[in-house]
Amino acid sequence: MADDYRRSVELERRIFELDNKCATLRTEKPGNRESCRQLRNTSLPLVDQEFPEDTSPFKIQQLLQDLTEPEVLAGRLVPAQEVQSVLGLELLECLYWRRGALLYMYCHTLHQRKQWIKKNKATFLKCLQEGVRYLMRMLQVRNSVKLNDGVVFHDSATANFLAEGIFSDTHLLTMMYIGEMCFWAVKYEDCSMDTTERKEDRLHFRDIGTQILHKYVLACEGPLQGQGWNTENAKEILNILQ
């Protein structure tokens, strides 16, 4: 019992330290759409400086490592429990979201540096793949609600959202991020097959992007119509991916 208590205290202390260290990446609340959209406008130096080419790769890896440490610590300090049970759904979602959103912002900047991509195409595709993986894992933290006779919803729109695994505005924004990153990956994968990564390890960007953006468009043009969600870019990407 004493060992378990010490492990719990140590885990909480380390998570608190990491939370403060990475506070510049935090959105105010996972379900707050406006705070999510303002993520790229925070005081994070990398974003303010538009990701300097010389220092960004190292700093990004540092941040990703910091944001991975809570999962590693949870696995080491409480090995008998699942990481999700130790950290909780919201914190685990937040950790995946921050890593994926950071790589999205980085790739968004790199996408505008055509000459850089020509020389570093493999690095760009690797960042896209890692970012999509993190964001996909964020969407998979919570299980979709299965609609059946034993579950009663007074709002059919809410029921459909939960059935599709859409639990907040951040989940919708994540879908759009994934769609854009898949589009960039398909664009440059089609231009080059010289990647050193094994084919079986690569994501099927075209399929993932198509599936995710279909859900995004249906949600935004259905129950969320008139709520400020734009689908023009998503539709343009779908026309290319399909």
Domain extent, residue 70, equals: 2-241
Whole-number pLDDT of residue 26 = 36
**Half-sphere exposure of residue 136, counting CA atoms within 13 Å on the CB side?**
17
The pLDDT of residue 202 is above 80: no
The pLDDT of residue 242 is above 90: no
Closest C-alpha among 5, 11, 17 to residue 86: 11
What CA–CA distances, in Å, run from 11 to 6, 24, 152, 165, 220? 9, 21, 39, 29, 39
**Count of domains observed in the chain:** 1
Report pLDDT digits (tens) over 119-135: 889 999 999 999 999 99
The pLDDT of residue 77 is above 90: no
Residue type at position 111: H
| E strands present in the chain | none
Whole-number pLDDT of residue 181 = 95
Report pLDDT digits (tens) over 130-151: 999 999 999 988 876 666 655 5
The tokens 């994501």 sit on which residue? 203
pLDDT band for 45, please (50, 70, 90 cuts).
low
What's the full length of the chain, in residues?
242
Tokens for 230?
């734009």
